[in-house]
Amino acid sequence: MNWLGSLQQLGRAVMIPTMVLPAAAILLSAGSLPWGSWGLPGVSEALNVAGSGVLLYLPYIFAVGVALGLANQAGYAGLAALMGMTIYEQVIEHFASGQIQPTTLIGILLGAIAGALYNRFKDFKLPETIQFFGGSRFVLLFMGLLSALFAFAMLAVGPILQAIINWMSLEVEAMGGFGLFVYGILYRVLSAFGLHHLLNNVVWFQFGSFETASGTIVQGDLPRFFAGDPTAGVFMAGLFPIMMFALPATAMAVIHEAREDLKPKVRKTFVRAALVCLLTGVSEQIEFAFLFASPFLFALHSVLAGFAMWLTYALDIHHGFSYSAGLIDFVLNFHLSSNGWKLIPIGIIYGLGYYILFRWAIRKFQIPTPGREEGSMLEDWAGNIPYRAPLILQALGGRDNIVQVQACITRLRLTVANDRKIDGHALKSLGSAGLIRLGGGNVQVVFGTYSELIREEINKLIDRELDHVLFSSPVHGRMIQLEDVPDQIFAKKLVGDGVAFIPEKNELVSPVAGTVIHVYPTQHALGIRTNEKIDVLLHVGIDTSHLEGAFEAFIKEGDIVEPGQLLIRFDLPLLKEKAKSLATPMLITNPDRVRSWSFAPFKGVKKGQASVMSVVLYDKDTNSK
């Protein structure tokens, strides 16, 4: 794995423990309510202590979370990280008398060590007499020794490391608004690669120190904000105008510039995306709509986002969030903010500016945002995820191409054996907003907030040994439902079940691997038997059997064919003139073998595109579930 892929894995792992912060924010917000006037003064204290407790133990939470993220949720890795933090704190407390704080950075380091040890030694074998201490148990033993040595090393290195972080914090503070401007740009640029969590962790959890009334030292812009530090929140306030106003306005611009025939689907998708961004601050679904279509526009967006950080700093606005800069966090944490109300007029100005700018740019430069060309609309198909997962897996190169599949909030993070096997066009048709190749087999596929569900279904497919047959597109054109074929024999599935295509080019290729079992005399149709004994019928056009000379077959009965191999070339202009319809069915004529069906979206497809249809077969011997 190359260095960028390693950072991708670490970035995802660092994000996992931050998921506990909304709980702390809710507890602290609830604790600020006037419980005393309601006759329940103890409730307020209990809620505040509970919320503060989450922030106090963030180093432990980060250690466990990072270890779990790097070790694919392995419990032994999390336990090793927790033990490592316990040993570290005890050593530091005894020898440094509290002069070195157990920061989240230490938690991340110990979590990364625990995760790496687990991945390296989880299958470690010892002599049979002491094998009880081998494998995952060896990770605990090794981690105990290593964390003690790490703690002793930190007695010397810790003060130096803390001095470096303090120096960085002071340098950024000395830069004033310009430092925030640079941070805002880097945040947006790194978010395209899923690496922004690494930058944010330094800023949100390392920069600055604050001593609470109880004497506890809190570090980082985010914990300091929730601890009541009046100087905290400068690294978060400038994100609210972007998430709550600018990007939702961009979504509206995408909708209004869509083609009229595609506008209903675009509206449904991007209104939901705008609401998600407004409420929760999850913005990638909107940003990826123009990131690949117009990198220049994304660069301009990054600069404007940086300027928002500078502007909020200049206006002395302090606000923060536990999760992201959405309306929920804005309202929930408003009682801790300073001049937070100013974010509303700034956001309105930003929203209007983004809407006008993006509508103008999309129209002026003909930017192919969703709805201006056929492609993925990120449609609402959460209920179909189990059925589309086989197609997504095939588009990723198949089960054998997957080394590791993980997910964060909005994207799959994969390590594959060969990233050239990934079909980006097929992924787009299946709902992907973007594909990022990081090199070394590390890729990211943006599926929005469905990513975790997709990961679960893909892992199920990888773990199960199901008998799948995957079908590529036999033509370049448009896929339609079989019921839409203007012929009752096909539409009522009297011959078999499957899909159909409207070809736009004059070649028919094999959708599967198998053997040609029949070629009709006029060469307008043929049958293929797959290696799984599925019989497939391909029929070019409707009422075309009388069109002699319109077809040229490049195979014969008994030939072995592979997906994408040319089968028939036909006279497309003649078919348009003489045939009842260009509809070309692809049928399974023995559908009793099929247990379940999966179909890609019924829209434009390329010749040989994998996969447009997937079927799971009954057990070969029992023919039962």
> Could you list the active site residues?
408
Distance, in Å, from the CA atom of 588 to the CA atom of 50, rounded to the nearest integer, reads 60
Residue 510 · residue 565 · CB < 8 Å: yes
3-state secondary structure of 103: coil
> For 195, how many CA atoms within 13 A lie in the half-sphere containing its CB?
14
Least Cα distance to 74 among 116, 21, 105, 110 occurs for: 116
38-41-47-50 Cα dihedral, nearest 10 degrees? -170
Can you tell me the distance from the alpha carbon of 318 to that of 236, in angstroms, rounded to the nearest whole number?
8
Q: Please say whether the beta carbons of 275 and 381 come within 8 A.
A: no
Residue 52, helix vs strand vs coil:
helix
Which residues have C-beta within 8 Å of that of residue 511, sequence separation ≥ 6? 471, 472, 473, 474, 536, 538, 563, 586, 612, 613
Residue 489: CA count within 13 A, CB half-sphere: 8
Q: List for the chain the helix, strand, coil content (%; round to 5).
A: 55, 15, 30
Alpha carbon 334 to its chain centroid, in Å, reads: 30
Q: Exposure string (b/e) for 588-616, b if CB count within 10 Å is 16 or more?
A: beebebbeeebbbbbebbbbbbbbbbbbb
Cα 614 from Cα 101, distance rounded (Å):
55
Per this entry, what is the length of the chain?
625
Q: For 548-573, give the secondary structure using H, E and C.
A: CCCEEECCCCCCEECCCCEEEEECHH
Q: CA-to-CA distance for 282 and 287, rounded, in angstroms?
A: 10
The CA distance from 27 to 49, in Å, is: 9
**Cβ contact 8:443 at 8 Å:** no
